[in-house]
Structure 1
Amino acid sequence: MTLPDLLILRHGETEWNRAGRLQGKLDSPLTEEGLRQADRQAEILAALDLTGWSALSSPQGRALATAARALPGRSVLQDARLREIGLGDWTGRLRSDLAAEHPHLFQGEGLGWYDHAPGGEGLLALESRLRAFLGALNGPVVIVTHGITSRVLRCLAQGLPVKAFETVGGGQGVVYRVSGGQSELLR
């Protein structure tokens, strides 16, 4: 799949991120640090020529709040395909509690446990909706989304298997440029 250039932003830190609580489809407000991260994203984007670029965001509050600060004065359309992976019964739970209940899933720093949430969306469904999203793009776009969604999106845009999502890097308030199948973290 040939893709246009992408700038992929993860929302800034939220209160639940700081507490270690899984958000999934739910939301919590950006922290002061999250607001600073969104402002830093705005600085990074301001240094780029975004003439002809569109802007799309997850409809979830934390992404929209980040988009408002990172893309001031720009029209940002919402796309539900950019929402975070659904976590089913684990939505709103503390990661530490889940790790205590399911230690075999949370050994080490891996993220594969996202695929085991009871009633959750799962990585295959996330991959399917993100392939549809990428297939519909017709020009360069700034994307404001979430942690796991960003990782899987970048895997697909780079032609990597989705299972590589654990290795492509993450972080709060980051900006990745994906062009010609290569990803670069902008600082």
Structure 2
Amino acid sequence: MTRPPLYLVRHGETHWNAEGRLQGQQDTPLNATGVAQAGEAGRRLAAILNGEAARAAYVASPLTRTRRTMEGLRAALGLDPGAYALEPRLREIGFGAWEGMTWREIRRADPARAAARDRDRWGYCPPGAGAESYAMLVERVRPVLDALGGPTVMVAHGGVARAILVALGRATPAEAPHLEIRQGRVLVLDAAGHRWV
């Protein structure tokens, strides 16, 4: 099946990103660096889309950090900042009871579960309400990908990006949890493969 081009942007930096805290589905805002990264992503998209930015579809996770990133990049493209769709299935992976903690804190407070997750980063589901494994996340985001009808700019999260790479056959479940998902850059997924711009 031939898929339309997807331009995937991870939200800009938050204070929790800077502190190494798992955000999951917590609604954290962008910091000043994140606001700048949103504009940078828009400038990168302008170069990639080469005058066709108004023809693409735009969709974002409903969390504040992704909405603000989308609005910043659309402003940088000269488009109405608020004219985009929200897709709840693009929310970040749920880390349950671990949200708000750093990995160091998790390893100290819950060493057995942290070790179990280290052994199976793709399939492990953390403790607590709303927690998900990456395998579960793929099933949540796959229908969104299947419904894309044309070139799409998507603003989502690091975990969602990893799930998309696996769903599209661009990474294996063993590789994906270890990939760097960059902020302020655009991951282009098209017929030529995938690349960061």
Alpha carbons of 1:114 and 1:87: their partners in 2 closer, same or farther (altered >3 Å)? farther
1:150 aligns with 2:161: yes
Contact 2:11-2:65 at 8 Å conserved across structures: yes
1:66 aligns with 2:77: no
Secondary structure, counterpart of 2:183 in structure 1: coil
1:91 aligns with 2:99: yes
Distance 1:55 1:181 in 2: 21
What is aligned with 1:46? 46
Farther off after superposition, 130-139 or 166-175? 166-175
Distance 2:163 2:107 in 1: 23
Alpha carbons of 1:167 and 1:24: their partners in 2 closer, same or farther (altered >3 Å)? closer
Distance 2:39 2:120 in 1: 28
Q: CA offsets per residue over residues 55-108 of structure 1, 9 Å max, x none?
A: 00000000001111011224210001111001111122222201334263576x
What is aligned with 1:100? 108
Distance 1:162 1:152 in 2: 9
Distance 1:20 1:141 in 2: 30
What is aligned with 2:60? 57
5 Å-filtered alignment, 1:64-143, equals 64-72=67-75, 73-74=79-80, 75-101=83-109, 102=111, 104=115, 112=121, 115-119=124-128, 120-143=131-154
What is aligned with 1:36? 36
TM-score if structure 2 supplies the norm length? 0.84
Unpaired segments ≥5 residues, structure 2: none
Distance 1:114 1:93 in 2: 20
Alpha carbons of 1:113 and 1:96: their partners in 2 closer, same or farther (altered >3 Å)? farther
Distance 2:5 2:92 in 1: 22
Secondary structure, counterpart of 1:23 in structure 2: coil
Aligned length: 184
Alpha carbons of 1:35 and 1:8: their partners in 2 closer, same or farther (altered >3 Å)? same
Contact 1:158-1:181 at 8 Å conserved across structures: no
What is aligned with 2:12? 12
Unpaired segments ≥5 residues, structure 1: none
**RMSD of aligned C-alpha atoms?**
2.2
Distance 2:191 2:132 in 1: 29
Moved over 6 A (4+): none
Distance 1:2 1:16 in 2: 37
Q: CA offsets per residue over residues 118-171 of structure 1, 9 Å max, x none?
A: 131112220101111111111110000001111211232245433331354312
Q: Percent identity?
A: 32
Distance 1:146 1:169 in 2: 12
- The code of the aligned residue for 2:63 comes to Q
